[in-house]
């Protein structure tokens, strides 16, 4: 059966992720498709999902309003693989607060036991790129693109730390859930998307 992957298409880097997943599917020669999903019905049909970077307050409020947040949480709890990128990782977190303004009332999935600091590396003008590594995923070097990126200040005992930059945790994994602070879809390197497609394919079969 074909692997049916989705990119949550409420706000953010949607098209870039669709293109990266499509490249990964092609490179891996997997029988699969990737579509843009937004409604609870569309989400119920995917085998794996990327929550893209963008603005977590917007993604949270709109997904709460149309019932998407609820089904997303249920499906991830049932084991659906999910890759949360930047704002997507904020959405997955149990607790999040902004480095400058502190805690605000924003809807989160609260499914990944991490304590997250939003905009941890500064504002838009402090965006940067740097080499990072995701050794345990078989990715020794990766170009990390950080745009108003979060970092993780604490993880639950069962959450694996995948990468750190300047002593800050920037990538984590727990079973079917991966969160990264940087934007892999803004590079030409599809290694991380390939890892995710492979994970989804393995969990489906």
- Quick one: 25 or 148, whose CB is closer to ligand GLN? 148
Which region, judged by CB under 6 A, interacts with ligand GLN, from 39-47, 52-60, 69-77, 155-163? 52-60
Residue 118 as a binder of ligand GLN (CB under 6 A): the answer is yes
| 200 near ligand GLN, rule: CB under 6 A | no
Stretch that binds ligand GLN, among 1-9, 71-79, 142-150, 153-161 (CB under 6 A): 142-150
Integer angstrom CA distances of residue 66 from 49, 69, 77: 17, 8, 19
Kindly state whether residue 147 participates in binding ligand GLN, applying the rule CB under 6 A. Answer: yes
Q: Does 60 bind ligand GLN (CB under 6 A)?
A: no
**Residue from 6, 32, 48, 54 that binds ligand GLN (CB under 6 A)?**
54
Q: Taking contact as CB under 6 A, which single stretch among the options 22-30, 40-48, 76-84, 147-155 is the one that binds ligand GLN?
A: 147-155
If binding is defined by CB under 6 A, does position 129 make contact with ligand GLN?
no
* Distance of closest approach, residue 147 Cβ to ligand GLN, in angstroms: 4
For ligand GLN, the binding residues (CB under 6 A) are: 53-56, 86-87, 90, 118-119, 147-148, 150
């Amino acid at each position: 059966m074909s692997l049916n992957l989705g990119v949550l298409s409420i706000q953010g880097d949607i098209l870039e992720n669709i293109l990266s997943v499509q490249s990964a599917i092609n490179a891996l020669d997997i029988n699969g498709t990737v579509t843009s999903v937004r409604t609870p019905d569309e989400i119920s049909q995917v085998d794996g999902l990327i929550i893209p970077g963008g603005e977590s307050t917007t993604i949270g409020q709109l997904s709460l309003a149309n019932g998407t947040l609820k089904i997303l949480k249920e499906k991830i709890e049932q084991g659906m693989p999910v890759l949360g990128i930047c704002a997507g990782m904020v959405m997955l977190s149990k607790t999040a607060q902004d480095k400058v303004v502190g805690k605000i009332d924003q809807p989160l999935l609260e499914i990944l036991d991490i304590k997250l600091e939003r905009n941890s590396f500064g504002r838009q003008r402090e965006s940067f790129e740097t080499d990072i590594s995701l050794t345990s995923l078989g990715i020794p070097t990766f170009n990390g693109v950080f745009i108003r990126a979060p970092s993780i200040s604490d993880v639950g005992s069962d959450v694996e730390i995948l990468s750190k930059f300047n002593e800050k945790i920037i990538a984590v994994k727990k079973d079917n859930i991966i969160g990264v602070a940087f934007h892999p879809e803004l590079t030409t390197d599809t290694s991380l998307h390939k890892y995710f497609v492979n994970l989804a394919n393995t969990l489906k079969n």
